[in-house]
Amino acid sequence: MSTYVMTDIHGHYGAMKRMFDKIGFSEEDRLICAGDYIDRGPNSYEMLRWIESPGENIILVKGNHDEEFRYCVEAMGMIFQKRGLDPASAEDTLFVYGTVRKITSYFDLYGTIGNLVKERKTAFEQLSMWAECVGKMPCYYETVMNGRRCIVVHGGYIESLACLEGLDTDGSYDSLEDFYLKARDDAYRYGGVEHGMILAGHTPTTARYELPFNYGNVYRVYDEAMDCIFYDLDCGYGFKGVLPEAKLACLRLEDERIFYI
- DSSP notation for the chain: --EEEE---TT-HHHHHHHHHHHT--TTSEEEE-S--SSSSS-HHHHHHHHHS--TTEEE---HHHHHHHHHHHHHHHHHHHHT--TT-HHHHHHHHHHHHHH-TTTTTTSHHHHHHHTS---HHHHHHHHHHHHTS-SEEEEEETTEEEEEESS---S-GGGGTT---SS--SSHHHHHHH-SHHHHHT---TTEEEEE-SS-TT-TTSTT--TTS-EEEEETTTTEEEEE---BGGGTTT-TT-B-EEEETTTTEEEE-
Q: Is the pTM of this model over 0.85?
A: yes
pLDDT given for residue 224 in this prediction: 97
Encode the chain (261 residues) as per-residue pLDDT tens digits. Answer: 999 999 999 999 999 999 999 999 999 999 999 999 999 999 999 999 999 999 999 999 999 999 999 999 999 999 999 999 999 999 999 999 999 999 988 999 999 999 999 999 999 999 999 999 999 999 999 999 999 999 999 999 999 999 999 999 999 999 999 999 999 999 999 999 999 999 999 999 999 999 999 999 999 999 999 999 999 999 999 999 999 999 999 999 999 999 999
**Half-sphere exposure at residue 113, Cβ-oriented, CA atoms within 13 angstroms:** 32
pLDDT given for residue 141 in this prediction: 98
